[in-house]
Amino acid sequence: MSDDTKRLDPEKSFHMTPDEFRRWGHQTVDWIAGYMERVGDLPVRSQVAPGEIRARLPASPPQQGESFDVMLRDVDEHLLDGITHWQSPDFFAYFPANASGPSILGELLSAGLGVQGMLWATSPACTELETLVMDWLVEMLGLPQTFLSTSTGGGVIQDTASSAALCALIAARERTTGFLTDKRGCQQDSEGQGTLVAYTSTQAHSSIEKAVRIAGLGQQNLRLIEVDENYAMRPAALEAAIRRDRQAGRRPCFVSATIGTTSSHGLDPIGTIGEICRHLGVWLHVDAAMAGTAALCPEHRKMHDGLELADSYCFNPHKWMFTNFDCDAFWVADRGALIKALSVLPEYLRNEATESGAVLDYRDWQIPLGRRFRALKLWFVIRHYGVAGLRHHVRQHIGLARRFAGWVAQSEDFELAAPVPLNLVCFRHLGGDAFNQRLLDLLNNSGDLYLTHTKLGGLLTLRLSIGQTHTTAEHVQRAWRNIESTAKAMAKDLKPCE
């Protein structure tokens, strides 16, 4: 035994007592409340260089325990400079990952309870609340009735839309091969089976390609279907591609359509795509990770037309529904295929409830075995805001995006790069790629706001995504003034050189 043991009192506990937890817990809550108050004043994008944060911290772990206040102080003094503030009202980058008080407290309570939800039996409330809340969301978003747990399908919380897509792909792969791939692998085409093929649009999220690679289909067997002028998948091109593959003896197994693409919020036409998939027997997954939240508002449900033809669907409450990451809501129309594809039951997990068939075991609905009690935060968010409150904020964000789009459209120096169906505005300065890149860098380096970019039609395009919890009209107006004035100053500086 090493020296430290000899010096230790064998009865001594190093655990934080409930009283200490109260004290430091209150202090952590106060720290977060203070952070909420000041986050708008901090530079949105961290301005540190690679390695800078690590260099400030001890290279080795402490042998003896330290006090909690020292740790909180280090967060302030050392970590905060390395934080890009996703919760800043001036955060317009990527897609939002908006959080809220009730969600954060739901996460806290989940950590405090510390239960495992892998089986119904390992904590029944964890499973039953999740099933209930997922059924609530079917009602709240007007999703197909087959997605209800009381029907043939059901919902489950995944960490991300990436994992949801992978689960959907595995279920699709297995359904297509009569559940033989799980047994024999994708590699058995020497037995005369055709190569498995998947389809998505050129605008789909990178997670689809990642899933196709992970699942053993291979990147070259993912067809990237062309899009129309609004960046929506062309159904005729999809149908032609599927037919070509079938004629060549390959096995089309999976189509992933997107509602609200990452680059530009393109809306694939689900109804037409769904009919093609039904007709040709291909699994249709619909990824509405960002845009799905808009379906809280009946006036934005048109994008879901035809969703009853989909085999699976997901959207991320952790993007635009005030629920801190991670929380992806994933449904299937036929839970049997998913469960059969992902279930393995070793002796040490056998239990009476599972064998009775009367319960759902969510471990069979996901990649990992273990799972947190994530339904708590979603339940808190929905109850705190109410459906009316959630709708209100979603409408506010969409309204702000439209106002911003209006300013862009009226500007002589800028143009819109894509339609603005919801809360993402894609735009660019007319000065060309180098100008837009420089403009983006200047804005982000200022710390006043944070935008990211994409390429549309081969041109560098700025993306302004509105969905941060505390973003108001004032922040969006200030962002536009800042973008306009920075561009004007740049143009002025450039003139003498031209």
Q: Which of residues 13-52 bind a copy of itself (CB under 8 A)?
A: 13-22, 24-26, 28-37, 46, 48, 50-52
Could you give the CA distance from residue 466 to residue 290 in angstroms, rounded to a whole number?
Answer: 11
Nearer to a copy of itself, 132 or 490 (CB): 132
The half-sphere exposure of 46 on its side-chain side, counting CA atoms within 13 A, is 16
224 binds a copy of itself (CB under 8 A): no
CB 85 within 8 A of CB 470: no
H or E stretch covering 166: helix 161-176
x/- letters, 269..288, toward a copy of itself (CB under 8 A) = --------------------
Could you give the CA distance from residue 232 to residue 268 in angstroms, rounded to a whole number?
Answer: 5
Instruction: Name the residue with tokens 């559940």.
Output: 179
x/- letters, 407..446, toward a copy of itself (CB under 8 A) = ----------------------------------------
Report in angstroms how near the CB of residue 275 gets to a copy of itself at its nearest: 28
Buried b vs exposed e over 53-67: b needs ≥16 C-beta within 10 Å? Answer: beeeeeeeeeeeeee
223 binds a copy of itself (CB under 8 A): no
Report in angstroms how near the CB of residue 123 gets to a copy of itself at its nearest: 4
x/- letters, 192..221, toward a copy of itself (CB under 8 A) = ---xx--------xxx-xx--xxxxxxxxx
By CB under 8 A, the residues from 53 to 92 that bind a copy of itself are: 53-54, 57, 59-66, 68, 70-71, 75, 79-87
Could you give the CA distance from residue 229 to residue 184 in angstroms, rounded to a whole number?
Answer: 42
Signed CA dihedral, 94, 99, 103, 108: sign only: positive
**Which residue from 392, 409, 485, 494 is in contact with a copy of itself, where contact means CB under 8 A?**
392
**Which residue from 42, 237, 280, 353 is in contact with a copy of itself, where contact means CB under 8 A?**
353
Residue 254, SS3 per DSSP = strand
344 binds a copy of itself (CB under 8 A): yes
Cα dist from 259 to 186, 201, 241, 469, 497, whole Å: 29, 11, 21, 22, 44
Could you give the CA distance from residue 128 to residue 147 in angstroms, rounded to a whole number?
Answer: 16
Any idea what DSSP says for residue 89? T
Nearer to a copy of itself, 276 or 417 (CB): 417
Size of the site for a copy of itself (CB under 8 A): 176
Q: Which amino acid is at 341?
A: A
By CB under 8 A, the residues from 287 to 316 that bind a copy of itself are: 297-299
By CB under 8 A, the residues from 154 to 183 that bind a copy of itself are: 159-160, 162-163, 166, 170, 173, 181-183
Nearer to a copy of itself, 36 or 416 (CB): 36
Q: Nearest-CA neighbor of 329 among 378, 266, 372?
A: 378
Q: Nearest-CA neighbor of 163 among 375, 318, 368?
A: 368
256 binds a copy of itself (CB under 8 A): no
Report in angstroms how near the CB of residue 459 gets to a copy of itself at its nearest: 11
Report in angstroms how near the CB of residue 129 gets to a copy of itself at its nearest: 7
Could you give the CA distance from residue 410 to residue 128 in angstroms, rounded to a whole number?
Answer: 51
Sole window of 231-239, 265-273, 332-340, 362-370 interacting with a copy of itself (rule: CB under 8 A): 362-370
